[in-house]
Structure 1
Amino acid sequence: MATNRRGTRRTGALTRASVRRGSGARPPRPEEEDAGTTGRLRFVQSPTTWLLGILLAVVTVTFQDVLTATVKTILPLDRVPDRLSPQNAIDVVEVRDVKDIGYYVVRDADGAGAGGDGKILEEISSGGPWREGRKVVDAGTADWMITVQGRASQQVRITDIVPVLEGGRCEKPLGGSLAHFPSQGVMDVIPLELEVDAPLPRLKTLGKDAKDAEPFFTGPRAKHITLNQNETEAFIVHATASTGYCRWRYRVHYEVGGSTAETTISGPGGKPFELTARLADASAYRKVYFPALDCVPPDSRLRHTWYEQTGAEYARDRRSGKVPPCPKS
């Protein structure tokens, strides 16, 4: 057993103090800790680090766009996530009134009292947009041009367009005042016929007369409308009503990318289309407005003049065969 210079013994055994001191790693010196922190902070704030981060973000976004475009060209439309669904494969570009010449009913609320009739006549005579804002309703006939566009990368095939009546049926014809007004011309597009107050209204192709009309989308000669991406198609629906006042929208059935879907076409402003039958007896109308075109040649200088009669006067003159109060020269 060895002794040190002071004469004490050395046993070689570990004391508690030595175990505590040697049981953990040596804590870093303050100057070492400051040096490490400063180095990391300097790296984060480095311009090179920021530039690398921006480049990485740009590369990531570009890669995602390329990958999505590639998947879109390979997979059917209805299987591409977060992209156009079959329910959005058709866009309604325009719904426009293109009635040429016909009759309109001025609603009672817009024509009665407080000089309402005079105001309507003034608007008609001035050539202003008196038919806008649903002040009037088409009477007897209506012509609407509807333009649709394909939005899907695959071809859209319209298989049927069905009128859906508000409330499931038409109501009794509207009263009020009657106006006969020439309007804008009809364009050369797909013509379709619709007897909206028929027991089972369907879109038909126009023939030489109503008897020659046959269903457009159904039957032995059924047709369909196809739309490629960004392709537009316009068609005019010539609607007639002889017994009631009808409000309706169109339900469009189509196929795209191996799926079937449908959409709805409404009138301007998202409101239903409207059409009323003319009253059998014109004397039931409060007033009747008609242009000089009803009684003078189209080249007459008086062709823009408008006239007004009560419903009773108009009915009486028509029954007796008399010429309404038009200019004599």
Structure 2
Amino acid sequence: MVDAESFIPDAKAEIVEAIGDDNAVIALSGGVDSSTAAALAYDAVGDQLTPVYVDTGLMRKGETEQIRETFEYMDSLRIVDAKDRFLDELDGVTDPEEKRHAIGEQFIREFEEVARDVDADHLVQGTIYPDRIESEGTIKSHHNVGGLPERIDFDGIVEPMADLYKDEVRDVARALDLEEIISERMPFPGPGLAVRIIGEVTEEKLGVAREANHVVEEELEAYDPWQALAAVIGKATGVKGDNRVHGWVVAVRSVESRDGMTARAQEIDWETLQRIQSRITGENESVARVVYDVTHKPPATIEYE
């Protein structure tokens, strides 16, 4: 385990050495990894750093407002509305790896545009060790590692936490006195809800996935999961009122883990599962049924794509 108190000054020194007198941008998603990296880098170089939150349209409910409130102390914070551009890039894309690469490339292009505006030469990222392991192997690419395009218009990429596991990042976040809503927040994938939608990403599916994920996170908070999520996995026949419907199937998943490399599906009581399905189907007329995923990792991954 990393010693957070000694890691922090070393990481800041690494950031200062890498950036020097130049400017940098950092990809800020609101998750614990990018938020911790942003806090480290901002403490290290101040307004030489421009934190960039890109609203991809693939985010959790209320995410943009939460980012604005949490990081308003960073005077250089930029919030970029890129929803239409990301959805255009994902139009017709169904393959999971193609999705990740399309999202990774669009992220970089958004950061490059801000970097040109602020004359930044470096990109800081919250990449952690499991991201590198999964991308360097054959499991899946991460949008900020294996999902990066070959052409990147930055002199350097700075990854101060590339050797840390998720629980170690949380220790660093706590040592930096980040708000609990950040330090204890469950993981959320960089590509966002796009990897919680099987097949093509559409505005309708995104709406279903966003609301269903909100319900799952609320209802399962007491179980303290490593990660809890809802995914739109297809369509099936159902009945609502006196009418037959061909609606969306939402899969609910909740797992326990230490570092995300392996995970065990949580045992959730029947009453809670019934409350989840009742809320998801009741609050969204286009959802026909809800299922609970009991598969561990391996053989499954935590996310669906």
TM-score normalised by structure 1 residue count: 0.20
| Greater share of strand | 1
Query: Which one has a bigger Cα radius of gyration?
Result: 1
TM-score normalised by structure 2 residue count: 0.21
